[in-house]
Amino acid sequence: MPHSLTIHELMEKLDSGELSSQQVVKAYLDRIEAVDPKLNSFVTVDREGAMEQARQADRQRAEGGRGALLGAPIAVKDALATKGLKTTASSKSLENYIPPFDSFVVGKLKEAGAVIIGKTNMDEFAMGSSTENSHFGATRNPWNTDKIPGGSSGGSAAAVSADLCAGAIGSDTGGSIRQPASCCGIVGLKPTYGRVSRFGLIAFASSLDQVGPMTKDVADAAVLLNVIAGYDSLDSTCADVAVDDYTSGIGDGVEGLTIGVPREYFVDGMDPEVDRSVRESIEALENLGARIKSISLPHTKYAVPVYYVIAPAEASSNLARYDGVKYGFRADGADSLVSMYEATRMEGFGAEVKRRIMLGTYALSSGYYDAYYLKAQKVRTLIRDDFLKAFEEVSVIMAPTVPTPPFGIGEKTGDPLQMYLNDVLTINANLAGIPGVSMPCGFSADRLPIGVQVLGPYFKEKLILRVARTLEGVLSCNKAKPVIN
């Protein structure tokens, strides 16, 4: 079936004429209609638009045109602006917002010929680890619909895992690509901060957010990164650094590389099945010629408190714009400007978003800025320095992505601290700005996916993809597909 193919497999069949884009897109749309009511991975499915894009792709190919993604159906997290197509950030505040422009990443996808099949569900404004904090309802994990798919890019992860799109785009502020990739048994790549433009990404925490691919295998992540990476003058934080061909050399193996294993990432309370699967993955790479070295990242234990000062502080600032004045939701019945502000923000935001705005506003308030925000930024520098020191000794770092398999829907919604601790192994890479890729490395006894992440030095996405592709070659778990009841 076309919907079971990877992007690189699909492109071969499209270019050879074995399949048409219209056949492929219709197969995906039919599968979304049949399967997604059980998962709720999409907020918007652009059926008419997708079929028209498919017809255009077929015409272009018939005329000799080619593109890296010509005719391939790609889903986009609903935090990225899509011209003429709703972009809600899964919030009531933006439930009817239709942008007049494309984000940089969506523009690059369209230039490459991708068919934008729809917008995926997420935690509201990307604030969450389970995709339960959505105005449009929770997304469910294809491997077990009683479990969470991870967050905040849970809709993209579930859609890729369930073969509802050829690939997807997510965003990662504290693990929001890698953590759901682990939970849903797919590949998720967070590039170096500044590698991919954030223009048109609805901001959560601007010094942490990064856009990246979510795919069925490692090669597809390289294909998508080739398309979306690059300098953009409209994003002042985008790095003007040459873009590699991430697909070349991906099969070169790991012989001669040194893999660092941080002691601090094998935390107390880690599920023993996760521990075993990750250690077996590391051992597999050692058997293929890599050298394994135990390392220390001593400031890891401060990552969660540092993140939950910095990210809410930036969110407090970024979300101040949603006041009911220029666009988005406005509450009815207000008798003054101030009461309109209050009612709009009270009704327009969900509980988790309001919690983080209050945390961030407090951290930035007079008398507390130095004690919280400034101190957190100083410790953030120490966390970054840990990685810089480690990469003087090792080529890459390997660790679990998430300390446990996916937990049950509703299991942690009443305990925000326990929910926040679910990101304990992914936050560090965002604070440091380094790239990381998560890939499936096994299953729990309950047949729930387990992920391992490979972290690398700045702008070494090609290296971490090479390591991940090598591991993928000796594991079979990435070929497994969920059975959706």
176 is catalytic: yes
Assess whether pLDDT exceeds 90 at residue 295: yes
**Does 220 score more than 90 pLDDT?**
yes
**Which two three-digit tokens encode residue 257?**
């590389």
Q: How many whole angstroms separate alpha carbon 211 and alpha carbon 184?
A: 18
438, 157 contact by CB (below 8 A): no
Distance CA 140, CA 40 (A): 7
Q: What is the mean pLDDT of residues 61-83?
A: 97
Catalytic entry in 152, 156, 161, 395: 152
Among 77, 46, 307, 36, residue whose Cα is nearest residue 170:
77
pLDDT tens for each residue of 427-457: 999 999 999 999 999 999 999 999 999 999 9
> Per the residue annotation, which of 77, 110, 147, 412 is the catalytic one?
77
Tokens at residue 423, please? 């990101």
Answer whether residue 478 shows pLDDT above 90: no
Q: Domains of the chain by range and CATH? A: 2-249 (3.90.1300.10)
Lowest-confidence region among 102-106, 133-137, 318-322, 367-371:
367-371
Residues 259-271 pLDDT 10s:
999 999 997 889 9
> Which percentage of the chain shows pLDDT scores above 90?
93
* pLDDT score for 420: 85
CA distances from 78 to 75, 203, 363 (A): 9, 12, 28
Among 103, 176, 182, 277, which one carries the catalytic annotation? 176
Q: Where are the alpha helices (DSSP H) in 170-301?
A: 178-184, 218-228, 272-287
Q: Is 233 a catalytic residue?
A: no
pLDDT at 3 over 80: yes
Q: Are 310 and 376 in contact (CB under 8 A)?
A: yes
Is residue 152 annotated as part of the catalytic site, yes or no? yes
In which band, very low, low, confident or very high, does the pLDDT at 366 lie, cut at 50, 70 and 90? Answer: confident
Q: pLDDT tens for residues 324-350?
A: 998 899 999 889 999 999 999 999 999
